[in-house]
Amino acid sequence: MRSLIDILDLSVKEIEELIAVACDIIENPAKYAETCRGKKLATLFFEPSTRTRLSFEAAMYELGGNVIGFSEATSSSAAKGESVADTAKTISCYADIIAMRHPKEGAPLVASQNATIPVINAGDGGHNHPTQTLADLLTIYREKGGFDNLTVGFCGDLKFGRTVHSLISALSRYSNVKFVLISPEELKLPSYIKKDVLKKNGIPYEQTTSLEEAMPKLDILYMTRVQRERFFNEEDYLRLKDSYVLEPNKLKNAKEDLCIMHPLPRVNEISVSIDSDKRACYFKQVLNGKYMRMALILKLLKEAQK
Ligand code: CP
């Protein structure tokens, strides 16, 4: 059974195909309005979410399907001690496809190993968030026309930011991509990603604490929230949470066609006065996420029928 746990579960060609379907959905939504009639998506969210859960649900409704699920662990039998494996086996009796978010890294993988229907990882701990990456890739494609020859700056919490980890993996498969990793010392990109993704693929990267110095080089600036829920110590969170705040004066040396991204939610990382700047793309990411999740649901349900 085909699931999506890690963005690298999809080949470059499959990502191109998903982008093509998403673009067709944008152009011809009526063509897709009945494509999931009679199918059910289960959204199993053991952690809070606004965009991912509701965009999955909107995606399924716009495909003509239905949605069941829960939005917090306390309203499921996980609160009584039920395992992820048993939950996955149970939901397989009710639904055709699962989108699961869980605070434990690897939980959606365990679900996929026990379910008899496709499982989509909707974010697992500080690990991966492949459908956010699909949203990010469609946004970059629509803004930049492709993925080659880009210098991408990731700024903020690169240690716990699962959207960063997944997007770095995805972009590492394209030509002449460079990364600038901007973070406080304590929130640097984990060593295993530098070793297994960047060094292994010969991707040039630099690490810095200075957003201002990095800014002129960047084609894309991917801002991130400091992930309070992953900290063991509130004092450390309070010390680091406002390490980077993007304000209009910080853009004075930025490229005219810079693409400013953020997976959202934002707390304080991007001033609301940037929202009206034509380079702000973070609410475009939100909408693109729905289209890519529509394309993904269609693909996985089609493959499950084979
Ligand atoms: N980007 C993202 O995952 O947002 P939510 O936590 O609101 O789903």
158, 185 contact by CB (below 8 A): no
Look up residue 30 and give its DSSP letter.
G
Same domain? For 157 and 277 the reply is yes
Distance 53 CA to ligand 1 centre (A): 8
Q: What is the pLDDT of residues 1-59, one digit of tens each?
A: 999 999 999 999 999 999 999 999 999 999 999 999 999 999 999 999 999 999 999 99
Same domain? For 141 and 109 the reply is no
Mean pLDDT of the chain: 96
Q: What pLDDT is stored for residue 144 in this prediction?
A: 98
Same domain? For 120 and 183 the reply is no
Same domain? For 51 and 66 the reply is yes
Q: What pLDDT is stored for residue 230 in this prediction?
A: 77
Ligand 1 atom nearest the C-alpha of 122 is 3
Give 111's pLDDT tier (boundaries 50, 70, 90). Answer: very high
Give 132's pLDDT tier (boundaries 50, 70, 90). Answer: very high
Share of the chain above pLDDT 70, in %: 100
Give 241's pLDDT tier (boundaries 50, 70, 90). Answer: confident
Q: What pLDDT is stored for residue 227 in this prediction?
A: 81
> Between residues 162 and 96, which one has the greater pLDDT?
96
**pLDDT for 234 beyond 90:** no
Same domain? For 104 and 247 the reply is no
Distance 263 CA to ligand 1 centre (A): 7
Same domain? For 261 and 296 the reply is no
- To test the pocket of ligand 1, the residue of 43, 49, 134 to mutate (highest count of ligand atoms within 8 Å of its CB) is 49
Distance 30 CA to ligand 1 centre (A): 27
Distance 302 CA to ligand 1 centre (A): 26
CATH number at residue 115: 3.40.50.1370
Same domain? For 232 and 260 the reply is yes
Tell whether 16 is covered by a domain: yes
Same domain? For 116 and 228 the reply is no
Ligand 1 atom nearest the C-alpha of 135 is 1
Distance, CA of 74 to CA of 56 (rounded, Å): 21
Same domain? For 205 and 173 the reply is yes
Give 269's pLDDT tier (boundaries 50, 70, 90). Answer: very high
Q: What are the start-end ranges of the E strands in the chain? A: 40-45, 66-70, 97-102, 119-124, 151-155, 178-182, 205-208, 220-223, 259-261
Distance 202 CA to ligand 1 centre (A): 31
Same domain? For 148 and 257 the reply is yes
Q: What is the pLDDT of residues 183-231, one digit of tens each?
A: 999 999 999 999 999 999 999 999 999 999 999 999 999 999 988 877 7
Tell whether 2 is covered by a domain: no
Ligand 1 atom nearest the C-alpha of 263 is 1
Same domain? For 279 and 134 the reply is yes
**pLDDT for 232 beyond 80:** no
> Between residues 236 and 303, which one has the greater pLDDT?
303
Same domain? For 147 and 83 the reply is no
Burial status of residue 106 (CB atoms within 10 A of its CB: 0-12, 13-18, 19 or more): middle
68, 94 contact by CB (below 8 A): yes
Q: What pLDDT is stored for residue 175 in this prediction?
A: 97
Give buried/exposed letters for 236-268 (b at 16+ CB in 10 A, else e): ebeebbebbebeeebbeebbeebbbbbbbebee
Ligand 1 atom nearest the C-alpha of 123 is 3
- To test the pocket of ligand 1, the residue of 51, 56, 134 to mutate (highest count of ligand atoms within 8 Å of its CB) is 51
Query: How do 178-182 and 97-102 pair as beta strands?
Result: unpaired
Nearest CA to ligand 1 atom 3: 52
Distance 179 CA to ligand 1 centre (A): 23
Distance 306 CA to ligand 1 centre (A): 32
- To test the pocket of ligand 1, the residue of 46, 50, 290, 293 to mutate (highest count of ligand atoms within 8 Å of its CB) is 50
Q: For residue 109, give its domain range.
A: 7-128+288-304
Tell whether 183 is covered by a domain: yes
Q: What pLDDT is stored for residue 58 in this prediction?
A: 98
Q: What pLDDT is stored for residue 198 in this prediction?
A: 97
Tell whether 1 is covered by a domain: no
Ligand 1 atom nearest the C-alpha of 50 is 7
Phi, psi of 167 (to 5 degrees): -70, -35
Sheet holding 220-223, edge to edge: 205-208, 178-182, 151-155, 220-223, 259-261
Q: Give residue ranges with CB within 6 A of ligand 1.
A: 49-52, 123, 132, 263-265
Distance 85 CA to ligand 1 centre (A): 24
Q: What pLDDT is stored for residue 167 in this prediction?
A: 97
